[in-house]
């Protein structure tokens, strides 16, 4: 079986099922586990991914207005790899190569007929069902069931260990400029971890907003988890906020409860490591490092971050 995965979360699921040897191609965003990083890359962005959050947003919106795809499929590479299965997604046209892009390339250009599997998770249960869906397709049903059962067991254990939910109000930010609050599975993650998500809508796509809403709600903790950004990139992006008077007046800023999570590796990647995201959020809410992700999966921003 020859598989091309055009979405990083699917690549992780395939590897967790023990099927990494089936992969013959990946997307430009696939970087975990390390064993797959030398595989042929079958997609690339049409915009400068190294720009600031507002520059990326403007480029993406411009491409969409011109009815252009956000990502480019490397048709020749895909044709050369002769896949039996191509895995993509239809959850977000900014996250990865879309189902329409793949179908158009196959029909109009490549003249090949692999099976297309499209994932569209909106909540945690959808993610677990995607693991089972791919398990069934790859003849790894038992392995998929074991993974999902293990995740659910750990979630139950974590909930019991918390004893009771905290009264801590949390704002999870998925994009900085313009402001977007994290939706889909993130509010569930906050709830499981013991906090109260002030803005996200469970099972619904992340929502655009403005900073006046954030200032008005004045959360206890603010967690930055920009889609596609690591911790260092996010640090650069949030510096401008510390020059705003309203930002400096926030409860979370004054109490030193601003956090950065690696959104690219954890919260924005709907695969098995969402369990790690729950553990990260649990440590953020209760201000500790029980699960060992501090420094690699998340950091707390000191009050003197920008002097």
Judge whether residue 258 has pLDDT over 70.
yes
17-74 pLDDT tens trace = 999 999 999 999 999 999 999 999 998 876 555 667 777 666 555 545 544 466 778 8
Bridge pairing between strands 207-208 and 180-181 = antiparallel
- pLDDT band of 114, cuts 50, 70, 90: confident
Cα four-point dihedral sign 203, 119, 153, 290: negative
How confident is the prediction for the chain on average, in pLDDT?
A: 88
pLDDT at 245 over 70: yes
Residue 274 is predicted with a pLDDT of 98
Q: How far apart are the first and last CA of the chain?
A: 56
Q: pLDDT for 183-220, tens place per residue?
A: 999 999 999 999 999 997 776 877 789 999 999 999 99
Q: Which residues contact 90 (CB under 8 A, 6 or more apart)?
A: 98, 99, 118, 119, 120
Which of 69, 68, 73, 70 shows the shortest CA–CA distance to 114?
73
Cβ atoms within 10 Å, residue 122: 16
């Amino acid at each position: 079986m020859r598989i091309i995965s055009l979405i990083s979360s699917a690549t992780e699921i395939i590897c967790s099922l023990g099927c990494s040897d089936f992969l013959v191609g990946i997307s430009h965003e696939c970087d975990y586990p390390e064993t797959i990083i030398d595989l042929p890359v079958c997609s690339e962005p049409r915009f400068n991914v190294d720009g600031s959050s507002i520059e990326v947003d403007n480029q993406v919106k411009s491409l969409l207005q011109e009815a252009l795809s956000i990502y480019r499929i490397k048709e020749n590479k895909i044709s050369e790899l002769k896949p039996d299965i191509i895995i993509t997604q239809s959850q977000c046209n900014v996250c990865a190569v879309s189902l329409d892009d793949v179908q158009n390339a196959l029909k109009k250009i490549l003249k090949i007929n692999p099976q297309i599997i499209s994932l569209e998770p909106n909540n945690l249960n959808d993610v677990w069902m995607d693991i089972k869906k791919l398990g069934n397709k790859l003849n790894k049903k038992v392995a998929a069931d074991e993974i999902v059962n293990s995740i659910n067991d750990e979630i139950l254990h974590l909930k019991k260990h918390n004893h009771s939910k905290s009264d801590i109000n949390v704002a999870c930010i998925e994009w900085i400029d313009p402001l977007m609050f994290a939706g889909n599975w993130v509010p569930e993650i906050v709830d499981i971890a013991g906090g109260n998500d002030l803005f996200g809508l469970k099972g619904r796509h992340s929502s655009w907003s403005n900073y006046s809403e954030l200032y008005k709600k004045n959360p206890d903790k603010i967690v930055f988890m920009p889609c596609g950004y690591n911790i260092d990139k996010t640090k650069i992006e949030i510096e401008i906020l510390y020059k705003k008077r309203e930002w400096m007046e926030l409860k979370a800023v004054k109490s030193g409860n601003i956090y950065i999570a690696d959104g690219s590796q954890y919260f924005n990647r709907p695969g098995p490591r969402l369990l790690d995201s729950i553990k990260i959020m649990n440590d953020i809410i209760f201000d500790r490092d029980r699960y060992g992700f501090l420094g690699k999966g998340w950091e707390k921003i000191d009050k003197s971050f920008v002097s």
